Chain A
Amino acid sequence: MSTFEERKAGFLAIELDGAGYKNIAAAVLAAESAGFQAATFKDTPEAGRTNALQRAAFAGPVTRTIAVVPEIDTVYTEPFHVSTQLASLDYVSGGRAGWIATAAVSPEAAAAVGRSFVEGDALAQEAAASIEVSRRLWDSWEDDAVIRDVATGRYIDVDKLHYADFETPADFSGAAYSVKGPSIIPRPLQGQLPVLAAASLVGEGLVPAYTVDAVLVSAPTPELLAAEVRDARARLGSSVAIVAELDVVLDSRGQAAESRALSEQEAGTPQDSRFARFVGSAAGLTELLDSLLREADGVRLHPAVLDVELEELSRLVLPELRRRGVLRPPVQDGTFRDVLGLAPAENRYSTTAAAPLAAGK
C-alpha cells in the first residue's frame, strides 16, 4: 500500500501560447494562482505569433512563483544571442527561467536567414552545438566575478572570466562555426538554466542526454503515454527529468468536451497535434494525471482554449491533485531548478571550487 509520503509529487506546466500577446499578464497570473509550476511559450513561425522569449520576459516581473519557459530554435538562430537572451530572462524572472530547445524543420526559417535547409540527424547536431555554446557562455563568468574592489579599482576579477572558445565538432554536418566569449552578461541567477528538449531529439548520436535537464515525451494517445514515459526513462536514465505532453479538452459550462472539441475554431492546440489528447471531464483528467505523475516527473498541458480549460483546471483538477499528494504545492520565489529537483549548478570553469565537474550541466 502506498502512503502519502512514498508518492513522489510531480509538477505541472501549461502552454500559454493561446494568450497571444495582449493577455500575457492575465494568463500567467491565472496559471500561477492555479498552482502550475511552469508556463511555456511556443515559438513556431505562425501568423500572429510574437517572439516567445519576449512573452516569457513580460511574464517574469508580474509573477513570483511560476517558471517562465520559452521555446527557442537552435538551428537558424545565433547561439551567442540565444544564450544572452536566456541569461537575461533569468534575471528579469528572478531565477525562474528555462529553455525548451527546439530544432526547426523549416525551409522557410532557413530561407529567412539565408541559410541552407537542415533536416534529419543534422538537426540534433545543431541543437547540441547551440546548447553547448549557451552552457559555456553561462559559465564564462564565475558567480563571484563582480568584486567591486574599491582598493584596487577593479569592478571585476578578470581571473573569474573565461573564454568559451567553442568550435563545432569536426564531423559537424552544418557550416562550421566558433564562438569566442566570454558572455556579455554575468552568470545567470540559476547558474545554468534548465534546458528541456523533445525526447526525440535527445539520446545517443543526438543531443547527449547529459546536456539536457528534462525531455518532453509524447505519444499518440493518453493510453500510450505512460509506456512512452517508461521507455524514455529506461533509455535516458534517472538524471534527466521526464515530462509528458498532453493536449486537453475539458467539459465546460455544461458543454461536453467532445462537442466543444469538434466545433472549436480558435483552438490553441491543432487537431493534428503530435501530442496525446485527453477529451472529457475534469474528474477523468484528474485520474489520468494522477497516474501519469506517478511515472513522469511532470506533465505539460496544452489547453484547447486557454481561458476555458484554465478555469476548469484551476477549479477542479489542480486542487484535487494537490489533495491527493501527487502535485507539488507551489513555492514562492523558488527557482526553476528547484522545480526540477536540480542541485545548484557547478561552474565548469570554476577557479574556486575544489573539483570542477566534467559535464558542468
Chain B
Amino acid sequence: MKVSRLTEKIKESNAKGRTALVPFLPGGYPDLDKFWDEIIELDKNGADVIEIGMPFSDPVADGPVVEAASLKSLENGVNLKWIISGLKGCRDKIDAGVLLMGYLNPVLQYGIEQFAKDAQEAGVDGLIIADMPYEEGVEIKKILAEHDISLVPLVGLNTSRERMKLYAKDATGFVYFVSVLGTTGDRDTLPEDVKKGLEMAQELFDIPVALGFGLKRPEQLVALDGLVDAAVFGSALIRHVEAGKSCREFMEIWK
C-alpha cells in the first residue's frame, strides 16, 4: 500500500506547525440536503481529514449526542450506499482526506469486498470500525489494503504496551487515541494519564497520532503539546450544528 493520504494530510498540516483538524459528522446529518454542503464547508475551513459517520442502530461506543444524531440520520433514510455514492459525486470538491467511521454489521451486510471497491472509487482513504479489535480485523485489513484504504486502529488509556505494539506492526494512515475510558461526547477536562498514553503511542507508532473523544476547546491540547498530531471532534461539532450554527464558525475556533 502506498503512503496513505491520511498520513500525508496530517503531516502537511504538522509541517506548518499546526495540529491537523479532523471533524466528524454522521452521514446525512443534519439532513440529506445540507450534508454534503457542510462537508465541503468543513474542507474549505481548515479540515485536514473529514470523518463521516456510517449510522448504526446500536452504536455501543457512542455517547448520547452522536447516538441521537446517527439515529436521526437513519430516520432520514441514510445508508452506506447513499454515503458512498454521495461522496463519489463531490469528492473532487474536497481536498481533505476522507475517513468513514462506524460499526461492523452494516459493512458486513454490504459485503467487505464490494465495500472496499466502492469506497475506493468514491475516494475513501480510511475506515474506522468501532467494534472490531485487532484480532477480528486481520482479514478485513488485508482486503482494504488492496484498495488503498487504511483500517485506522483505536487505542486507549487501558491499552497495554503489548497490544499497542500489535496494532503498530501493520497500521497505516494514523492511529486514533481515545482520550477517555468511555464513549464519545464532549468533556471539559481530559484524564491525567492521557499524556502517558500519547507518549507511548508516539513511541510505538511511526504514523501520526490523533486524539479524539471528549475534545471541546483548543486549550485542552495545550498541555499535550507535541504529542497530538491530529485532533478529532464529533459531539462538540454536532452540538454546534444542532444549534443552527455554521461549520465555518466552528472551525474558526480551532484554526
Q: Tell whether A and B belong to one assembly.
A: no
